[in-house]
Chains A and B, each alone.
Chain A
Amino acid sequence: MYIYDEFDRTLVAERVAEFRDQVGRRISGELTEDEFKPLRLMNGVYLQLHAYMLRIAIPYGTLSSRQLRMLAHVGRRYDRNYGHFTTRQNIQFNWIKLEDLPDAMADLASAGLHGMQTSGNCVRNITTDQWSGVAPDEIEDARIWAELLRQHTTLHPEFSFLPRKFKIAVTAAAQDRAAVKVHDIGLRLHRNGAGETGFEVLVGGGLGRTPFIAKSIRPFLPKRDVLSYVEAILRVYNQFARRDNLYKSRIKILVHDLGAEAFAREVEAEWQHIKDGPLALDPAVVAEIAARFRYPEYARLDDDPPELTQLRKADRRFDAWLCNAVTNHKVPGYAIVTLSLKPEGGAPGDATSDQMDAIADLADRYSFGEIRVGHDQNLAFPHVAQRDLPELWRALDAVGVATPNVGLVSDIIACPGLDYCSLANARAIPVAQELTRRFRDLDLARDLGRLHINISGCINACGHHHVGHIGILGVEKNGEEFYQITLAGRADERAELGTLLGPAVPYAKVADVVEEVVAAYVELRERPNETFIETVKRIGVEPFKERVYATH
């Protein structure tokens, strides 16, 4: 956990007071909607189809049980008893009133939560690996760097009115769980030949209308330089990106138009001026931040305690869940447990206030009071003693978050789509729900192996459809919902954009087409453990296309 001190608390409280004043001025008519909109957006407040929506940041996906209870409270008191976890370590409430927002934010602030910079043309919530600090494959805890960057970019006097939104992600593990290659800036902590740790700096990744995989502009940046280098990138972006066209103002377009090398030269030139200035990181500052990430006092335990092995033998359902939702931990005798927010027929990423309260209680009992939020719209308990897994499993199941489908075909990522979002062209949630019904058979799902379906209700790609193994994009054609299907995208360290399967299909046919694609994969795979993306990579989309469009 990152422990807020009085500086953090004061700033968040001052932000709430400022927003209360801004809401008051809007309601009194002192501010027009045009003037108010950017201000409310910078506090995470959207106006959606039916109501205002509040997006709250969960920095680097780490929540305390107290914070999760506060989210439950906000859902209950100001909304309709549920929230929606997004793909960027945020949670959204869909039915909140403008008049109530200052009070809701004050409540959130009391638990160190806020909506600052979760929208608007500024640096958004900085995301990272939801398993940071406990993942065996990380070289250090990426959250320290995310927190340093979070502080540096919060209410930044130069970069609060950027050409467009700006998303930064950090990873420190071999396996990229933070999708750094589809961010405006991706920072990958790694060790160089000399054994020092530093960052590979990637820029210009992003999805939306014009998707790009990020380009590496610096293979190794010493850690002391991370703030100055990010500052240089932002300064080049702020001054030179297009502002005349909303669709061309992201950094990916600037990097593409200039070329990655020319862009890198601009950044390096800017950076030379500032690298040894006040932004050069003082190790004491880093140590101070690092010291405020507290780790639990783990007990000395052995891996695979007998109670675990016994129940695995006795109960196939437990064994299935354990194989699916439980991951290795850095510390012997402990495990990371993923809580699936993808039950059959559910809206991906939704949790009720009651569920949040129950999960918070379980986190206190089994995970040192800590919960993580991942970009896959699931939650995780980062510090579970393996001997507690049987009890925890039963408890999680009673809450409805033990579906053993993590990373499988029914673990679908979806944006809110046209059911909520004013930008959407088509619905996403009912498509996801139907697919979870089609793929309810978990034996089949396990046989299919890793298969990520991502659904976006419009080209803005909040459901990351371009990087889904199967991507589904809702479009509107003559007033009807149609869906484009792409295959073999991926968001990890080998990120790639999916390939279009063929013409868009109507709403009523999407689930059939996806089933057809999956059936084709089962027939076409070379061996049972050739994954879906490996098969598509090997044979291309043509065989899938032939099969799908022959039958439909």
Chain B
Amino acid sequence: MPLIKNGRVVADRYVHVLDDAPPPDGIPVIIPAARFLADAAEILHHDASVGVAWPNDRRVAELAPYLDRLALVALVFPTFKDGRAYSQARLLRERYGFRGELRATGQILRDQFMFLVRAGFDVLDVAKPGDVDAFPSALKRYTVFYQAAGEGRTSAARLRLARSSVPITRGPEFATSSELGASLAGRVSR
């Protein structure tokens, strides 16, 4: 399935290492959670990037001690209706400060793109190739966000306060949506 990163399709550098196989030298690998935890010290000695595929029914706190040495965490949406990995993503980003690649895998559809990006995912393993082209428009679909999440968009509540302390010279509707649009465009092309 195509991987979208920063709005573009990218090649997957990683190989998935199944439970018992040794990690191939010099190639970035994604290791299943159980094996990684059983043998973390050894695996982290791998001579290329290491990622972990983390199931959605296991607390991400278990990964916390290793996050600064992990290049990638892949979270899974077995169906798009199962939203556990949104919580895991926010915890990894906002609580444990994970800065590596946070990859959404499973049934990843365009109608979830905005939620996924806002929860902190930066790479989406898209289920339908046809959804790839929809990425930019899906991210521009909304310009108003009622709540803050860790990904940096400003909540409507904050913008309201800012507005009331700074007089707005342009028409209020255009002012807010274009300002928001600009900050959003900045994020998309980041």
Chain A residues at the B interface, C-beta cutoff of 8 Å:
5-11, 14, 17-18, 22, 30, 35, 38-39, 121, 151-162, 235, 238-239, 243, 273, 278-279, 282, 284-285, 288-289
Contact = CB atoms under 8 A, between A and B. Distances in A.
B144 A238 contact: no
Contact of B164 (A6, A7, A239, A288): A288
A151 B150 CA distance: 17
B105 to A, nearest CB: 15
B98 interface: no
Interface in B38-92: 59, 80-84, 86-88, 90
B35 to A, nearest CB: 23
Nearest to B78: A243
Interface size bracket, B side: 35 or more
A154 B146 contact: yes
DSSP majority for the B interface? helix
7 contacts: A11-B146, A151-B157, A152-B147, A157-B114, A159-B86, A238-B87, A239-B87
Nearest to A42: B111
Nearest first, the 5 closest Cβ-Cβ pairs linking A and B are A161-B83, A157-B118, A151-B146, A11-B144, A7-B156
Interface string B13-24: 000000000000
Contacts of B173: 6, 9-10
Interface of B: 59, 80-84, 86-88, 90, 95, 109, 111-112, 114-115, 118-119, 130, 141-149, 151, 156-161, 164, 172-173, 176-177
Contact of B83 (A154, A238, A284): A238
A157 B144 contact: no
Contact of B145 (A155, A243, A273): A155
B37 to A, nearest CB: 18
B84 A239 contact: yes
Contact of A278 (B90, B95, B109, B148): B148
Contact of A238 (B86, B112, B164): B86
A160 B115 contact: yes
Contacts of A159: 83, 86
A273 B141 CA distance: 31
B162 to A, nearest CB: 11
A282 B160 CA distance: 12
A273 B95 contact: yes
A7 B179 CA distance: 12
Nearest to A278: B148
Nearest to A12: B144
Nearest to A18: B141
Contact of B86 (A7, A18, A30, A157): A157
Nearest to A239: B87
A121 B81 CA distance: 8
Contacts of B148: 278-279
Contact of B90 (A17, A158, A285): A158
B144 A10 contact: yes
Contacts of B118: 157
A6 B176 contact: yes
Contacts of B119: 157-158
A14 B144 contact: yes
B144 A5 contact: no
Contacts of A153: 147
B86 A158 contact: yes
A156 B80 CA distance: 15
A33 to B, nearest CB: 14
A38 B82 CA distance: 11
A532 to B, nearest CB: 43
A10 B177 contact: yes
Contacts of A11: 142, 144, 146, 156
Contact of B161 (A30, A162, A285): A285
Given A155-B146, A158-B119, A161-B81, 6 more contacts: A14-B141, A18-B141, A39-B111, A154-B147, A158-B83, A279-B148
A161 B86 contact: yes
B20 to A, nearest CB: 29
A30 B109 CA distance: 12
A7 B160 contact: yes
A284 B141 contact: no
Contacts of A278: 148
Nearest to B149: A157
Given A30-B130, A151-B156, A154-B146, A7 B176 contact: yes
A7 B153 CA distance: 14
A14 B87 contact: no
B161 A282 contact: yes
A10 B145 CA distance: 10
**From B83, B84, B109, residue with most partner A Cβ within 10 Å:** B83
Contacts of B161: 282, 284-285, 288
B82 A161 contact: yes
A152 B118 CA distance: 14
A17 B146 contact: no
Nearest to B164: A288
Contacts of B156: 7-8, 11, 151
A285 B157 contact: yes
Contacts of B82: 161, 243
B142 A14 contact: yes
Contacts of A285: 157-158, 160-161
